[in-house]
C-alpha cells in the first residue's frame, strides 16, 4: 500500500512491519492561535494518540477528544483523550486504526478548558 496524502491527514503503512500511522493537522479555532498535530499510531492492536500543540496558554489543561463528524463543529465524543498540558497529550485508545477508519468522519478536537468545554480552540479532521 502506498502512502496517501490529504489536506488534513497523512497515512503511512509499512506492510512488512504492520505499522500504521496517521498525522492530522490541528487548525486554530476561535482566535486561539493554537495549532499543532495529532499523530495516531497503531501499537499492538490499539491506537496511541499523541497531540502536540503550539501556543497553548501557560498553565492550561485542555480537554481533548475524538468526535464524530468534522471540523469546525464536530458532533458527540467517541473517544475521550487525556487533557493537553504544556502542549502535549498522549492517550492509548482501545481500537486499531482500521476500525477507527471505518468510523469516519471523525475529528480530533481541543476545548479551551473543562469549564469552557463549548469553546473549541483547535480541530483537525481524520481522513
The pLDDT of residue 8 is above 70: no
**Over 70: is that where the pLDDT of 3 sits?**
no
What are the Cα distances from residue 92, in Å, to 19, 37, 72, 114, 115? 15, 16, 24, 21, 24
pLDDT digits (tens, 9 = 90+) for 61-104: 999 999 999 999 999 999 999 999 999 999 999 999 999 999 99
Instruction: Please tell me the total count of domains within the chain.
Output: 1
Tell me the pTM.
Answer: 0.84
Boundaries of domain holding 16: 4-126
CATH of the domain at 121: 2.60.40.200
Contact 29, 44 (CB under 8 A): no
Amino acid at each position: 500500500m502506498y502512502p496517501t496524502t490529504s489536506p488534513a491527514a497523512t497515512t503511512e503503512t509499512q506492510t512488512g512491519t504492520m505499522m500504521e500511522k496517521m498525522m492530522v493537522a490541528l487548525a486554530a479555532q476561535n482566535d486561539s492561535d493554537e495549532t499543532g498535530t495529532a499523530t495516531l499510531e497503531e501499537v499492538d492492536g490499539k491506537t496511541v494518540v499523541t497531540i502536540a500543540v503550539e501556543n497553548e496558554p501557560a498553565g492550561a489543561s485542555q480537554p481533548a477528544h475524538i468526535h464524530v463528524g468534522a471540523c469546525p463543529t464536530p458532533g458527540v465524543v467517541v473517544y475521550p483523550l487525556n487533557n493537553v498540558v504544556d502542549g502535549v497529550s498522549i492517550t492509548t485508545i482501545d481500537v486499531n486504526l482500521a476500525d477507527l477508519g471505518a468510523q469516519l468522519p471523525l475529528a480530533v478536537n481541543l476545548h479551551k478548558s473543562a469549564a469552557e468545554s463549548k469553546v473549541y480552540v483547535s480541530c483537525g479532521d481524520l481522513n
